[in-house]
Structure 1
Amino acid sequence: MAKLTMTSSRWDELTALLEDEQRLRSEYPKVAEYLDMAASLGGTGDDQADAQFDLRFVHYMTGGSAVSPNPYWDIVEPFVVEHGDRRVVNGGRAEGSPRLAFAQMLLQATYAYAIPSPETIDWIARFCAGFPIVELGAGRGYWAAQLARSVLTIDAYDSEPPDKTSNASFPEVAGQTDVWYPVQDLSDFAARTRPANYVLFLCWPPGWGDTMSSEALAAFENAGGERLVYIGEPRGGKTGNDAFFEALSDRWTLDSTDPHFVSWWTDADLAQGWVRI
């Protein structure tokens, strides 16, 4: 694992923060929570690797966009391994570790459920072929921010923009960025004019029978939409509902799958590009 490098001034900042427990808990409560729990949770068995992960976690979670435009990726990248035909974050252990599972929960709430590796961002750019993108269910707009940095045009929408209203999946927490990219509400999306001359982007649309994914796809079809990027689990998983997958099977064809997509070892998500039949 490549060691994290940082400036001496940044190292001094982190040292001062970690030595002031009251300040750490006040300014970065989730980082303090992680450090409290990490000591009692089993790691990968490689103490040096676990310590390096902890340092990355603290550095990027307290530095925000000032230290990295994609801190989520910078935190997990050293723990990505090839597992069969997939790339997963598990630290080299098929079963991961309790410590990594706890970090996963915090990172998904801080950034996004799916991990935006640079390769996946490039794959989306190729699939979109110059078309603008509309993301529904954008959460904190973390994926939208990464796509916009790749000179893609994207508008992001959510039923509960975290900087405007309470969002259970992405709660307001001290020391964390509410949104990484402007996220509009669904009333703004409803005001868009037709036709749907954009690529629809659905990243981890809710599952468990929630109709968001099928309703979004139906509205896109009715507006003449022809290209869809879907990041989530297959049918029967944690994302999408049956009607969504039935619509894909009946009226769409799978055009591309990102072979370099990175997933948490606990999830079965993938990145797919669909085109209308």
Structure 2
Amino acid sequence: MKTLALTTERRNELAALLDDERRLRAEYPKVAEYMVTSPMLPGTDDAQADAEFELRLLHYMTSSKERVQNPYWEILAPSVFEHDGRRVVNGGSLTGSGRLAYAETFLQAAYAYAIPSPETLEWIAGFCADRPVVELGAGRGYWASQLSNCGVLIDAFDAKPPDRTNNVSFDRSVGQLDAWYQIGNLKDFEDRVRDRSDHVLFLCWPPGWGNTMASWALTEFEKAGGSRLVFIGEPSGGKTGDDAFFDGLDARWNLESEDTQFVSWWNLGDVAQGWTRR
């Protein structure tokens, strides 16, 4: 595995941060909690790879937004391997590890549930074909930020914008961004899409377990005459979307494109799909 290239100055900065537990907890409490807990969990069979992963996480999670454009991907990229025709983050171990499972939940809360690899961002931009994008359920707006950096015109919305309201999935903490992009609320979303079909609807990990957000968004999009949808999440019966959403796709939409380069955590079954209205 390629070693993270850091300047001597940056290595000294990180060493000083680790050596000063009080400062680490004050400036980056979530990172401090991670660094304490992770070593107590079983890693992969490659101790060097595990150590490199920890270094990348420490480096990128204590770097500014201006310094690193896509820290989530930078942390994970060297841990991506191909398995059964899929690109997955497993650290080279088919069963992952306890440490990676902990990192998964930690990084999902800090950034986003799905992983925005450069290939997937490019695939979305191509599927949208210069149309503006509207994302509902944007969380911290991490995907919106990355797509915007790729030249996609995107508006992002969430029922609970984490920089303004309490969002249990994306809680606030010192040392990390509450939002990576401007996030509107549901009222803003309704005003944006009312009687307009000039956009692509983007749903990235819409809530499952009976939550009707995905089917509601699809219905409103159809009412406005929408015809192009990007869905990232697990298929029907998984952790995302509700039955009515998937039934609607089956009945009224065609699966036009699927990103074969999409990267998932090894223990998830999410996919990236592009749908068009029949």
User: Equivalent residues in 2 for 1:64-103 (5 A)?
Assistant: 64-103=64-103
Moved more, 16-25 or 1-10: 1-10
- Counterparts of 2:7 and 2:187 in 1: how far apart (Å)? 45
- Counterparts of 1:85 and 1:136 in 2: how far apart (Å)? 30
Q: For residue 262 of structure 1, what is the aligned residue in structure 2? A: 263
- Counterparts of 2:90 and 2:202 in 1: how far apart (Å)? 27
2:15 pairs with 1:45:
no
Q: For residue 206 of structure 1, what is the aligned residue in structure 2? A: 207
Q: TM-score, normalised by structure 1?
A: 0.98
Q: In the alignment, is the contact (CA less than 8 A) between 1:196 and 1:223 conserved in 2?
A: yes
> Percent identical across equivalent pairs?
60
Residue type of the alignment partner of 1:78: P
- Counterparts of 1:172 and 1:130 in 2: how far apart (Å)? 34
Q: In the alignment, is the contact (CA less than 8 A) between 1:161 and 1:185 conserved in 2?
A: yes
Q: How many residues align?
A: 277
Q: Secondary structure at the residue paired with 1:60?
A: helix
- Counterparts of 2:132 and 2:66 in 1: how far apart (Å)? 27
Q: In the alignment, is the contact (CA less than 8 A) between 1:96 and 1:265 conserved in 2?
A: yes
Q: For residue 224 of structure 1, what is the aligned residue in structure 2? A: 225
Measure how far apart 1:66 and its partner are: 3.5
Q: Secondary structure at the residue paired with 1:63?
A: coil
Residue type of the alignment partner of 1:256: S
Q: For residue 142 of structure 1, what is the aligned residue in structure 2? A: 142
- Counterparts of 2:15 and 2:37 in 1: how far apart (Å)? 19
Q: What is the RMSD computed on CA atoms of the aligned residues?
A: 0.8
Q: Secondary structure at the residue paired with 2:146?
A: helix
Q: In the alignment, is the contact (CA less than 8 A) between 1:64 and 1:177 conserved in 2?
A: no
Q: For residue 188 of structure 1, what is the aligned residue in structure 2? A: 188
Q: Secondary structure at the residue paired with 1:39?
A: helix
Superimposed CA distance per residue, residues 96-147 of structure 1 (whole angstroms, 9 cap, x where no aligned partner): 0001111111000000000000000000011001100000000000000000
- Counterparts of 2:256 and 2:77 in 1: how far apart (Å)? 27
- Counterparts of 1:152 and 1:226 in 2: how far apart (Å)? 18
Q: For residue 121 of structure 1, what is the aligned residue in structure 2? A: 121
Q: TM-score, normalised by structure 2?
A: 0.98
Deviation >3 Å, runs of 4+: none
Q: For residue 254 of structure 2, what is the aligned residue in structure 1? A: 253
2:61 pairs with 1:61:
yes
Moved more, 253-262 or 36-45: 36-45
- Counterparts of 1:14 and 1:91 in 2: how far apart (Å)? 23
